[in-house]
Amino acid sequence: MDGARLAFSWLTVLPVRGPRLVDRQAGAWAIAVTPLIGLVLGIATTLLLWGMLAVGLPAMLAGILGVGFLALATRGLHIDGLADTADGLGTFGPPDHAQRIMHAGGSGPFGIATLVIVLIGQGLALGALAGAGMFVAIAVAVAAGRVAVVIACRPGLRAARPEGFGALVAGSQSWATIGSWVAASLFIATVAVPGSPLHGVIVLVLALALALLFVTHCARRLGGINGDVLGAVLELTVLIVAVGLLLGA
């Protein structure tokens, strides 16, 4: 329960009070229940887009507003991590230099360009899914981003720094936990694309595999993972899954 409370207090704007003691065990549990937060946010976003389309808003505008809702519901935490990670990966120099860039505050050209592309892509893709009546796919895309966070904390990955969020969660998830969430997400993905259960499964497998490769690259380039990397892999996975579910649908 401490982990669940910590996850909702960390990762959403819901007025949930976290535990008094935030240690590695609580951090591990918080990451382990992150896909549940993704499911809640996915359902909320789906209902929001359905409601906007029902009152006559264009699907494109509904999708962009849906992305805005997700940013507000998560305090912009993940998009900030996406921008910082892009700046860190886009700089030359050793890992400690990249980490200084990431924690310098503000966003550089790499971060801004990445934000523009990813957020506009998400908005257009989610809007297109809503316009096509693929509302389950919206929830799957949002939740899949949080499954990618669990994968990002796989065994063997260390934190970039000995303090901070990364130190609490890096390498904290077992393969059993990761496998359980991947299996559950694949099961739900079978109904993401009407009439084509294999489509959703293939898209999710490819997206989560890319998430694993991306996090492994970040750990190698930055000397480990941190909270920014988790936010980046989350947002990228949402985009990849949403676009993938549209292809051929």
- State the pLDDT at residue 107: 78
Strand partners, 159: 225
- State the pLDDT at residue 16: 75
- State the pLDDT at residue 9: 81
Task: Work out the pLDDT band at 186, boundaries 50, 70, 90.
Answer: very high
Q: Which of the residue ranges 48-62, 158-172, 190-204 would you say has the lowest mean pLDDT?
A: 158-172
Asked if residue 191 has pLDDT above 90, the reply is: yes
Asked if residue 246 has pLDDT above 80, the reply is: yes
Q: What is the mean pLDDT of residues 25-49?
A: 93
170 Cβ contact list (under 8 Å, min separation 6): 153, 157, 158, 159, 224, 225, 226
Tens of pLDDT, residues 87-145: 999 887 788 888 888 887 777 888 999 999 999 999 999 999 999 999 999 999 999 99
On whether the CB atoms of residues 22 and 5 are closer than 8 A, the answer is no
Higher pLDDT, 50 or 166: 50
- State the pLDDT at residue 5: 78
Q: Which two tokens stand for residue 83?
A: 């921008």
On whether the CB atoms of residues 199 and 113 are closer than 8 A, the answer is no
Query: What string of DSSP letters covers 20-63?
Result: S---HHHHHHHHHTHHHHHHHHHHHHHHHHHHHHHTT--HHHHH
- State the pLDDT at residue 18: 65
- State the pLDDT at residue 128: 97
Tens of pLDDT, residues 108-124: 888 999 999 999 999 99
- State the pLDDT at residue 249: 64
- State the pLDDT at residue 61: 96
Query: Does the global pTM surpass 0.85?
Result: yes
13 Cβ contact list (under 8 Å, min separation 6): 72, 73, 74, 75
Asked if residue 14 has pLDDT above 90, the reply is: no
